[in-house]
């Protein structure tokens, strides 16, 4: 996994009156590292229907589709991976239920990162690296130095590291060489509406993706 880990956040898109499928299509034009659907407050039936709509789009683009929190919905929709947090189902249990599904996990401290790396997930995310406003109750900011330590630990076991939280195009440049991918919500949203909005989404996604893909192998990483 290398490049832009794009998140389709239904709440953020609804606030901008953006259609999630059209938005996803605009992002998929750049073939990001992954596309995740984040639908925290939506009914499971609606989430499943949307995942099933996104799955063939992602697969045509060669992009892994990630369901948030729900391995059952990920399996039913034909997703490639599921992303779990610290209070969600443990990775070992996800693997027992859905053995063919990749599993990524969010971490917010080096201790949580070490615990996640011990079971070798498909990828591990760490953050928030910067202050973020896309969560109502975010974890404390970890900062660049903690991310630097995490980078060495993830590289040592060959697990891709994804930075999360408050990542803009300018801030992303500070992370080149430290992480394999950046997870982004707000920075993908267009600054204007109308016919040019989706073209702006694609341009924003391209800028972020190009910073990390391709990228030189991080020091100590397993090739």
Rounded to an integer, what distance in angstroms lies between the CA atom of residue 2 and that of residue 16?
28
Q: Which pair of structure tokens corresponds to residue 218?
A: 């991080």
Torsion sign (Cα): 21, 204, 209, 37: negative
Pairing state between β 123-126 and 181-184? unpaired
**pLDDT per residue over 75-92, tens digit each?**
999 999 999 999 999 999
Delimit the domains of the chain by residue range: 3-212
Rounded to an integer, what distance in angstroms lies between the CA atom of residue 126 and that of residue 183?
10
> What is 3-212's CATH number?
3.20.20.70
On the question of pLDDT at 223 being above 60, the answer is no
pTM for the model stands at 0.92
**pLDDT per residue over 163-221, tens digit each?**
999 999 999 999 999 999 999 999 999 998 877 999 999 999 999 999 997 644 444 44
Q: Is there a contact between 32 and 5 (Cβ–Cβ < 8 Å)?
A: yes
């Amino acid at each position: 996994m290398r490049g832009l880990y794009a998140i389709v956040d239904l709440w953020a898109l609804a606030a901008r009156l953006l259609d999630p499928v059209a938005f996803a299509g605009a992002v998929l034009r750049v073939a990001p590292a992954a596309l995740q659907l984040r639908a925290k407050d939506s009914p499971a039936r609606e989430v499943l229907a949307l995942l099933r709509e996104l799955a063939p789009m992602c697969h045509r683009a060669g992009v892994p589709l990630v369901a948030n929190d729900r391995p059952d919905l990920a399996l039913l929709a034909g997703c490639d991976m599921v992303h779990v947090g610290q209070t969600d189902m443990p990775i070992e249990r996800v693997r027992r239920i859905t053995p063919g599904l990749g599993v990524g996990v969010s971490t917010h401290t080096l201790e949580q990162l070490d615990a996640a790396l011990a079971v070798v997930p498909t990828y591990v995310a760490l953050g928030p690296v910067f202050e973020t406003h896309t969560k109502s109750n975010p974890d404390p900011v970890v900062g660049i130095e903690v991310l630097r330590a995490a980078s060495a630990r993830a590289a040592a076991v060959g697990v891709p590291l994804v930075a999360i939280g408050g990542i803009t195009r300018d801030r992303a440049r500070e992370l080149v060489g430290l992480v394999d991918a950046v997870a982004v919500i707000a920075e993908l949203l267009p600054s204007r509406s109308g016919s040019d909005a989706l073209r702006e989404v694609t341009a924003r996604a391209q800028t972020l993706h190009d910073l990390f893909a391709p990228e030189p192998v991080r020091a100590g990483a397993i090739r």
